[in-house]
Structures are given as structure tokens and as C-alpha cells.
Copies of this chain bind each other. A is one copy, B any other.
Amino acid sequence: MAGNPFSGKDARPHVEGDFAREELALAYRNVALPLEALAYDVTPVGLHYTLSHFDVLRLDEGGFRLTVSGRVARPLALALADIRRLPAHTLRVTMECAGNGRGLMVPRYPSMPWLYEGVSTAEWTGAPLRHVLEEAGLERDAVDIAFLGADRGFDRGVEHDYGRSLTPADALSDDVLLAYAMNGAPLLPQHGFPLRLVVPGWFGMASVKWLTRIEALDRAFDGFQQAVGYHYRKFAGDPGVPITHAKVKSLIAPPGIPDWYTRRRLVERGTVALAGRAWSGAGTAIARVEVAVDGVWRDAVVARQAQRFTWQAWHYGWEATPGDHELACRATDARGATQPLEPDWNTNGMGNNAVHRIQVTVR
């Protein structure tokens, strides 16, 4: 690396084929859902995906304060106990990383090279954000609310605390939580202990971890992860479209048993109960899941949505015959949005919801 290794402001050039050591190291730093864990309605502790831009912080609950400042009538500095005293709300939320599927785009932007594993479901408990915003009293000229984490680092030459924003209308929704518990226990460090934002129905980048500052702004938040990162862009220089809600998507829990290295699956002949999960953004329910065996699509049975922001189980009885087969699944949500057969390419590899395909051998 020549010169200051932190000043490279240009986007990294796209690549194809094998993965760089930097991409591999990002895969290690973050937890991924092994697809057999799609079997759980709520992902077990430690298997819920993580995407931490900078370090996994070790914060002290005693010294912790959440400040609310800027265009508010009453600036606040809240201890965790203050937030725990507010009415608590628990939501079962399926969360997906906006970059999930990036590693399958061709050519590929060098970043976290998710294949399929950047999605999970957890039960988050916390105080609805709106209680805190109402206590602070947003001024009339507050047009954007910034949420800043304690985690700091560089991206494309820009030093910043991780931060994202929501409009006042989105921030005042009942569903946005200041979450201090996950699956009934205090947040783990890697999920933002002691406090994080949880924004159901959005891709995961909105759910700021290690949340320490809320700033009401009279202008659009210009933080790097809001103004530069997390856009759909079709070409270099494209101003792009900001990324918000998750997209319709589904995954198959691989049947049978694996080969250690290739992860190809061996399945016994006969009736195989294929199963998986499907979800969409903004709490939209899934209306249909189709399964393809060797390219022939058939309807699967879709379970009802247990809660508004939660993935839905699907299953399909497959009469497996000996030989090599390709399985695929495709979801359509209640608004009619469906998954494409191939990735919808964009410069930074965001929001890839192309159908999931797996290779199996039946004996």
C-alpha cells in the first residue's frame, strides 16, 4: 500500500473469480447463518449474522449514556436504566444485511462477500424510540434524525463513527426500538451491547449498534454510511438510490448430508421434505413460494406470518430420483414483488435477491 493507507478515496476496482484475503478476513470477522439453521423460527444465539464495520466494541453499562441533542426542546442524557424504565416492546424481526449476495455478483465489488448467509431472526426487546423522541421534543425544523454508534474507523479514506439516519416519520413509528435485549438476554457485544437501534423491515444497516448519540438535524444527515455508502448505483458517479427496506427473498435449508469441502449434498431417494424461509421488506407478507427441481417450478406450501416483520416457513415434498439435481426457490410477496432469476447488478453489490440454487446428488 503506497502512501497513507487510509486516504484511498476511490472505490475499489471490481473483481471476478476467487476471493482476496481481505474479503476472506471480512467473512471471518462477521458471523453467518449456516443454512441448516433456517430450521429455527428464531435463530439460536451465536448463529445470528453480524456485520460490524469496525471493531466489536466492549462498552461498560455503568458509564453508558445515550444523548439526544440538536433540534430538540429538551436535550437528554439517558442511562440504560432510564431506557429500561420505559414501556418495553418485543418484536420478532428477520434482519438481512444489504450486502447479502454480494459475493455472487459478477463482477464483484470487493467488500464483505456474502453468499447467502447474511440473514437471521431474533426477538428484540426494548423501548419504542418514539417515547424518547417525544420526551426530547423534536423541533419543527427537525427533518432528519441521526443515530450514531460508538464504533469508529475508516471507509474509502473517510474517518467516521458508524451512523445512519431516519426521517422523523420513520423514527416515530411504533416498531423502531431502542433494544437492550435479544432473545430474552442482554445484548451480546457483537450485537451492540448495551443498546442498539432495531428498525424492522429495513436492511440491517439501519439498526445502529453501540448506539450512543441521537441528533435531530435541520438538514439531511451527511454521514458517510448515509450519504456515500448504502446506495443502489448502476455506474461510477451515479448519485444512486438510498437503500431502505429489505427485498423479497427466500432460501432453502439444504437437504441430506454434506461433503466437507464442496458442501454438495447427498440425499437418499424417495420423498424428501424440502423446507426453507421466505421474507420481504417493510413487514410485507409472503404470498407465494415456488420450488424448482431441474428448472421446473411448482408451488410450495407457505406458513402464515407469525408476526409482521418475521420470515415465513415453507415446505415442499420432493420425489427425489437418483442422479444430480438442481433445486431452487423463489418467493413473491403480498405486493406482487418477486425474486429475479439472476442478480440485479449494481456497483457496490447491494440487495442481491436472486433465487437460491443448490446442487444435490440423490442415491
Q: Is the interface of A mostly helix, strand, loop or mixed?
A: loop
Partner of A22 from B5, B110, B263 at Cβ < 8 Å: B263
- B residues within 8 A CB of A117? 28-29
Contact A110 B261 (CB under 8 A): yes
| A258 part of interface (Cβ distance < 8 Å) | yes
CB of A60 within 8 A of chain B?
Answer: no
> Is A53 at the interface (CB under 8 A from chain B)?
yes
A262 touches B5 (CB 8 A): yes
Contacts of A188 in B (CB 8 A): 44-47
CB <8 Å contact, B47 and A190: yes
| Contact residues in B for A132 (Cβ distance below 8 Å) | none
Known: A31-B46, A189-B37, A189-B44. A115 touches B25 (CB 8 A): yes
Whether B55 and A154, one on each chain, are in contact in the complex, defined by CB atoms closer than 8 angstroms, is: no
A111 contacts B by Cβ under 8 Å: yes
Contacts of A45 in B (CB 8 A): 45-46, 188
A29's partner among B34, B46, B55 (CB-CB below 8 A) is B34
Chain B nearest Cβ from A290, distance in angstroms: 25
Task: State whether A152 touches B257 (Cβ < 8 A).
Answer: yes
> A residues engaging B (CB < 8 A)?
1, 4-6, 12, 17-29, 31-32, 34, 36-37, 39-40, 44-48, 52-56, 58, 103, 110-111, 113-115, 117, 152-155, 159, 188-190, 257-264, 266, 324, 361
Task: Sample 11 A-B pairs with CB under 8 A, ordered by A number.
Answer: A19-B23, A24-B113, A26-B263, A28-B115, A39-B58, A45-B45, A45-B188, A54-B260, A111-B261, A153-B258, A155-B260
